Amino acid sequence: MTSETRFRLRPLRRTALSLGLAVVSAAVLPTHAAETGSTASRSDEALDAALEKIDHLEATVEHLNSRLAGLEQIDGERWLNEERAEQIRAVVTDVLADADSRTSFQSDGALAGYAPGKGFYLRSADGKYSMRISGQLQVRYIVNDASERSTQYGFQLRRAKLAFQGHVFDESWTYNIQGAFNRGSSSLSTSNSTDFRLENAYIDKAFDNGFSVRLGQFKAPWLQEDLVSSRRQLAVERSLLSGYFQQNYDRGIQLEWESDRFRLRAWTGNGIPTPFSGLANNITSSNWNTNPAQYSFVGRAEARFGEASWKEFADFNNFRGRDAGVMLGVSGLYQRYNRSGGFGNANATTVSGVTGDVTVNFGGASLFAYAVWQNAEDATTPGGQALGTENPWGFLVQGGYFLSDDVEVFGRYEYGVLGTSGTEPVTGTPYTDNELNMVTVGVNWFISGNDVKFTTDLGFNLDSLGLPAYGGRGFGTNNGAGYRLDRAGEDLQWSLRAQMQLLF
């Protein structure tokens, strides 16, 4: 019998109870006729009390039944929600499993992603192999005025590079392959230029004792301004002084030792393209069978002081909040040319040189200075006229200051002398000394660090970027920097440059 049926019969039970009590009272009434009326009154009170208790119990049971029905409804809804949640979990699990089965890295759990400032990366699950893919774009607008000649202006795609670097087997074996697309009418438009020109291409092995060995094509440890990446320069472009003395990308082998405070590097290879090598400075060194150098050695020693790490000295933009420190560096060069057996394009027998530099980081401001000097023995003109001993030299001072976290103002002064002598072989007139005496001021706006950076600057050369002394290589021939050679009697050349840089 259900509870509903029982509740429906309870009123009948009450009626039956009342009738039963009436019958009992009628049966015993003749027997106890002599009892007083008070006894009958007590029986009526007892009956009323019993009926009242029964009413109270029925009301209680009805209340409990109502509560029970509500609880049963809530429990049913909870069961439905839990069942629905289990179904949703099953669907999500199936979708994730399907996605995992479709990824190309599912077999070994490889990792892929993007690291700000470092590019896209691939990495095996065991950490033994990695590759980082990055790129660089620099787009410029240049306005140049060279004394009495017409003003020239226009856009320039200065750099468009792709780089691949990472490690194999373990992090002690690293590699770097970097190339740049041809700049069209800029200084890389030479007879041996291609649409995509290889820059870095080397293997690096690091040992636990601080030593490492690098083999391939890269920059020899000569001029510090050229060693700092074009991504991390203070002005729109490196100085014209660097454009003359730079080492660029050279093929060879380098041994390096690094500790917490000192670093030493020694390099030998096909020779860096000095102004006397017969190669333009912005062209990489030749192959073994066209190498103009019999031997070439470059060494560099560095010491750092303060809290700034080695990595922070590879950037001329010293942002606010960085550690302060000082780095001192000195480099030496000795190179002998092969002027026989078809290698007669060299314009000297030997070239030696020395350069010293200092970098100071203040945590929101920076200062960099260096001096460079070279000596060329038995120097000649491209036509073979003897010049004797030549000693080009120069120095540079530059500094930057952050007005805010994103805006930096900077200034630079550079001075250089080719030290030419002799006369031109055709006209018999003395060579015009190509003198560099330049001031540059500008501002950097770091929209997103170095990844998105806008730079504009204005440079004045206070003397004449005269005709080059060595048949095409002088301070003003680096037209990629926005300057051109002055004609006789011209001076006060200036260049306004604006550049947007994007790194990815």
3-state secondary structure 247-273: CCEEEEEEEEEECCCEEEEEEEECCCC
Question: In angstroms, rounded to a whole number, what is the distance separating the alpha carbons of residues 212 and 325?
Answer: 25
Domain boundary among 42, 69, 99: 99
- The verdict on residue 437 lying in a domain is yes
Q: Degrees (nearest 5) of the Cα angle 498, 435, 488?
A: 95
Residue bearing the bigger pLDDT, 37 or 55: 55
On whether both 59 and 122 belong to a single domain, the answer is no
| 20 and 148 together in one domain | no
Contact of 209 with 500, CB cutoff 8 Å: no
Cα-based distances in Å from 155 to 184, 364, 443: 12, 32, 19
44 & 80 share domain: yes
Domain check: are 405 and 459 in the same one? yes
Report yes or no: 417 and 371 within 8 Å, Cβ to Cβ. Answer: no
Would residue 462 count as lying in a domain?
yes
User: Phi, psi (5° rounding) for residue 241?
Assistant: -65, -45
- pLDDT score for 17: 47
**What is the tens place of the pLDDT at every residue in 122-168?**
999 888 999 999 999 999 999 999 877 889 999 999 999 999 999 99
Asked if residue 354 is part of any domain, the answer here is yes
Q: Can you tell me which residue has the tokens 């290589």?
A: 473
Q: Are 417 and 475 in contact (CB under 8 A)?
A: no
Q: Are 78 and 30 in contact (CB under 8 A)?
A: no
Average pLDDT estimate for 108-120: 76
Residue 75, pLDDT score: 60
pLDDT tens string 291-347? 778 899 999 999 999 999 999 999 999 999 999 999 999 999 999 987 654 445 677
With beta carbons less than 8 A apart as the criterion, state whether 368 and 312 touch. no
Region of residue 472 (phi > 0: left; psi between -120 and 50: alpha; otherwise: beta): left
Burial of 359 by CB count in 10 Å (0-12 exposed, 13-18 middle, 19+ buried)? Answer: buried
* pTM of the complete model beyond 0.85: no
In sequence order, the 6+-apart residues with CB closer than 8 A to the CB of 351 are 274, 276, 277, 333, 334, 335, 337, 374, 375, 376, 377
Residue 20 tokens, joined: 């039963």
Percentage with pLDDT > 70 across the chain:
73
Q: How does pLDDT run across 425-477, given as a tens digit for each residue?
A: 555 555 555 679 999 999 999 999 999 999 999 999 988 887 655 454 678 76
Of 99, 120, 148, the last residue of a domain is 99
Q: What confidence category does residue 186 fall into, taking pLDDT thresholds of 50, 70 and 90?
A: very low
* CATH assignment at residue 448: 2.40.160.10
How many domains does the structure of the chain reveal? 2
Same domain? For 425 and 291 the reply is: yes
Q: How many CA atoms lie within 13 A of 297 on its CB side?
A: 4
Contact between 232 and 315 under an 8 Å Cβ cutoff? The reply is yes
Give the CA count within 13 Å in the CB-facing half-sphere of 170. 5
Domain extent, residue 482, equals: 111-503
Last residue of a domain, one of 99, 128, 160: 99
| Within-domain flag for 104 | no
In a domain, 105, yes or no: no
Q: If DSSP codes are grouped into helix, strand and coil, which group holds residue 108?
A: coil
Residue 465 CA to residue 416 CA, distance in Å, equals 10
Residue 306 lies in a domain: yes
* Dist CA 132 CA 451 (whole Å): 16
pLDDT at 185 over 60: no
**Residue 57, pLDDT above cutoff 60:** yes
pLDDT 10s digits, 198-254: 999 999 999 999 999 999 999 999 999 999 999 999 999 999 999 889 988 889 999
Q: What is the mean pLDDT of the chain?
A: 81
